Amino acid sequence: MKLEGIHHVTCITADAPGNVDFYARVLGLRLVKKTVNQDDPTVYHLFYADERGSAGADITFFEYPGIPRGRAGAGMVHSITFRLGAETALDFWAERLGAEGVETERADGALQFSDPEGLRLELAVVDVPDEPLVADSPDIPREHAIQGFDSVRAYSRAPSASAAFLEQGLGFQPRGENEWELRGDRRGGRYVYDEAPEERGLGGAGTVHHVAWASPPDELDEWRHRVAAAGASPTPEIDRFYFKSVYFREPSGVLFELATIGPGFTTDEPLETLGERLSLPPRFEHLRDELEPVLTPLPDVRPARR
Ligand code: ZN
């Protein structure tokens, strides 16, 4: 049994229209699902990914209109790294982000910047055999496009306290000091700890809520048992309609989820029009007439697609 790298990363936005503009238009990801927060259906849960809405490329945002900015601290993911295919893509992105007024820093083989709400992002040239997960965007050449997740970086006060749980509970392989890789048969993802700042973390706009790791659909229950045996307290299996999920905290305090690969985003709308209409899981469908008028209007950043 192996987990297949990162499934999705879920973050918080106070500004859904600005979020769509940045992730779909500027970064060129596809808004593959426009749905509601299943714990509060009056606000959005937005999903951006590659063209097919694949696990491994899926960054998602809970919308909390007007929530103040948070800051990452111990027990929180503080930075998300996406893959690029080649060094030349770094120049393309430095120029594109610069033209949008986004400040970038060039590191070795990578470009670092923040989204409009202060969430730290990185684009990195990474040599892995995983299939590139790419979205079509009119003004981003395919060879420069974002190819899915590489890694997430979290703050911890005691990374070594997480080692046994990560390795024996979830099958991570150590890859260096405070760095692990979770690699399955098809994809992998890395998890890295940095020294936590003194200041306490605070959830809010521009922070990461949780990171989900990808489970083959028929193995979630077995993983849930392994997680419990390794000392964590997993939730019961929750049906999120697009996938099934189990949540727990790893020893450093970071909220982890295990999510099934599938049924996926085409379960309630066709691939061609993913994300265009508000999708409501069946148990929320009866609320459609009430919800549509109260949800924040979003820009259409892909008007010329069909
Ligand atoms: Zn999730």
Q: How far is the CA of 212 from the centre of ligand 1 (A)?
A: 6
Cα distances from 55 to residues 3, 79, 134, 277, in angstroms, run 12, 19, 12, 21
Q: How far apart are CA 178 and CA 274, in angstroms?
A: 38
Q: How far is the CA of 10 from the centre of ligand 1 (A)?
A: 6
Contact 83, 150 (CB under 8 A): yes
- For residue 243, the one-letter residue type is F
In a domain, 41, yes or no: yes
In a domain, 152, yes or no: yes
Q: How far is the CA of 116 from the centre of ligand 1 (A)?
A: 22
Buried-exposed string 249-262: b where 16+ CB fall within 10 A, e elsewhere: ebbbbbbbbbbbbe
- Could you tell me the two tokens for 109? 């083989």
Residues whose CB is less than 8 angstroms from the CB of residue 135 and which lie 6 or more positions away in sequence, other chains included:
28, 29, 30, 49, 50, 51, 57, 145, 146
Q: How far is the CA of 215 from the centre of ligand 1 (A)?
A: 13
pTM of the model: 0.97
Element (H, E) at 196: none
Residues whose CB is less than 8 angstroms from the CB of residue 253 and which lie 6 or more positions away in sequence, other chains included:
74, 75, 76, 156
| 254-271 residue pLDDT tens | 999 999 999 999 999 999
Q: Is the pLDDT of residue 302 over 90?
A: no
pLDDT at 306: 41
In a domain, 118, yes or no: yes
Q: Is the pLDDT of residue 301 over 90?
A: no
Q: How far apart are CA 78 and CA 108, in angstroms?
A: 19
Q: How far is the CA of 259 from the centre of ligand 1 (A)?
A: 7
What does residue 290 show for φ and ψ, rounded to 5 degrees?
Answer: -80, -35
Q: How far is the CA of 256 from the centre of ligand 1 (A)?
A: 8
DSSP SS3 for 174: strand
Residues whose CB is less than 8 angstroms from the CB of residue 133 and which lie 6 or more positions away in sequence, other chains included:
49, 50, 52, 54, 56, 57, 147, 148
| 69-102 residue pLDDT tens | 999 999 999 999 999 999 999 999 999 999 999 9
- Could you tell me the two tokens for 227? 């997680």
Give the pLDDT band (50/70/90) at residue 303: low
Contact 136, 176 (CB under 8 A): no
Q: How far is the CA of 11 from the centre of ligand 1 (A)?
A: 9
Q: How far apart are CA 27 and CA 50, in angstroms?
A: 11
In a domain, 193, yes or no: yes
The CATH number assigned to the domain holding 216 equals: 3.10.180.10
Cα distances from 146 to residues 90, 102, 122, 126, 244, in angstroms, run 11, 17, 11, 11, 26
Q: How far apart are CA 189 and CA 21, in angstroms?
A: 27
Give the pLDDT band (50/70/90) at residue 300: confident
Residues whose CB is less than 8 angstroms from the CB of residue 105 and which lie 6 or more positions away in sequence, other chains included:
111, 112, 113
Residues with CB under 5 A from ligand 1 (ion): 10, 212, 257
In a domain, 1, yes or no: no
In a domain, 29, yes or no: yes
Q: How far is the CA of 58 from the centre of ligand 1 (A)?
A: 10
Domain that holds residue 298: 6-305
Q: Judge residue 282's burial from the number of C-beta atoms within 10 Å of its C-beta, 0-12 exposed, 13-18 middle, 19 or more buried.
A: exposed
In a domain, 26, yes or no: yes
In a domain, 57, yes or no: yes
Q: How far is the CA of 190 from the centre of ligand 1 (A)?
A: 17
Q: How far apart are CA 152 and CA 193, in angstroms?
A: 9
In percent, how much of the chain has pLDDT > 90? 95
Residues whose CB is less than 8 angstroms from the CB of residue 256 and which lie 6 or more positions away in sequence, other chains included:
210, 211, 212, 213, 247, 248, 249, 250
Q: Is the pLDDT of residue 119 over 50?
A: yes
Q: Which of 159, 24, 6, 175 is nearest to 80 (CA)?
A: 6
- Rg of the chain over all Cα atoms, to the nearest angstrom: 18
* Number of domains, the chain: 1
Q: How far is the CA of 255 from the centre of ligand 1 (A)?
A: 10
